[in-house]
Homo-oligomer: A and B are copies of this chain.
Amino acid sequence: MKCKKCGTKASVNMRQHKLALCKEHYLEWVPEQAERFIKKYDMFSHGDRILVAVSGGKDSLSLWDILVRLGYQADGLYIGLGIVGGFGYSSESHRLAAKFADERRLTLHVLDVEAEYGQPIPVMSDISHRGQGKPCAVCGLTKRHVMNRIARDRGYDVLATGHNLDDEAAVLFGNTLRWSGEFLLRQGPVLPEVSGMARKVKPLCRFYEREMTAYALLRGLEYIYEECPFAEGSTSIYYKEALNRLENDRPGTKLTFYLRFLEARQQGLFAQQADARQGLHLCTNCGQPTSAPGLCSFCRMMYKVHGEIEIP
């Protein structure tokens, strides 16, 4: 297999795109594509201040790397979740995120959940009884709250996450199997700014997971290989595997599923009135948007954990 651009030996072959590239041209191609997606979905411009949510994994570090290379003003946010695992998941991912930032003299905000909110994620999860024995629900809720809070408090215009096509297609697959209208109307590369919440964007949403792995490896990024120890057996991994089998038999299935969804929605497949974001309220404690009047889910959880609410 030869590189389509220069004819030397290809390093990456993308069946679904019918495209093979050598290392050099692959490392050019990924940022070019990312720039195309950023423009196509009108994610942000060079004047915007971008906060990248960095986990220490391949996707978020690659995203930060790509945005900086493309000349965007991108700072990082690392959230210390306090997940110990067998190999020290949180401390190792923190070390790698900090190393990445230091080597490039980039700004990395760090928020340690235990220091800030009194308990690490697994303990919060135990106390609050959310998520049926798994801390993933509490973790997601906390990360969303913290990202919104830091973006707002530090005056960022946009919050960027490293979700790739496999992540997005798996979420879409789950929402579709249940036909969750509320989520089908909202899921996408851009979640517009609403009062108290910065715009959220997913610049990698059209890259296959393996494309991001190839990028991180060929770019020589040092990232945490291990999945979070709590991810095992999760629904999202289950849906990813189901989609991988379909993709394997028919290359391009995953991309078509996601892109045709975005296209069909834009062309008016869904009725607009079902958009739940129309009726958002502001949490009476933290001021972040929430679906019902009163406290948001995060503040209700904090109340369970501490038995009291602190005004932030």
- A264 contacts the other chain (CB 8 A): yes
| Residue in B closest to A258 when the chains form the complex, CB atoms | B179
Pair A263/B179 contact, Cβ less than 8 Å: yes
Per-position binary interface string of chain A over residues 252-279, scored 1 when its CB falls under 8 Å from any chain B CB and 0 otherwise: 0100110011011001111111100000
Question: Quick one: given A269-B184, A271-B270, A271-B271, are A177 and B257 in contact (CB under 8 Å)?
Answer: yes
Pair A264/B181 contact, Cβ less than 8 Å: yes
Task: Give the chain B neighbours of A256 by CB distance below 8 A.
Answer: 177-178
Task: Give the chain B neighbours of A238 by CB distance below 8 A.
Answer: 249
Task: Give the chain B neighbours of A231 by CB distance below 8 A.
Answer: none
CB distance from A264 to the nearest CB of B (A): 4
Residues of A within 8 A of B (CB): 176-179, 181, 184, 238, 242, 245-246, 249, 253, 256-257, 260-261, 263-264, 267-274
Question: Quick one: given A177-B257, A246-B242, A253-B177, are A274 and B268 in contact (CB under 8 Å)?
Answer: yes
State the CA gap A300–B304 with chains docked (Å).
Answer: 69
State the CA gap A269–B238 with chains docked (Å).
Answer: 26
Pair B246/A245 contact, Cβ less than 8 Å: no
Task: Give the chain B neighbours of A272 by CB distance below 8 A.
Answer: 271
Pair B269/A273 contact, Cβ less than 8 Å: no
CB distance from A178 to the nearest CB of B (A): 6
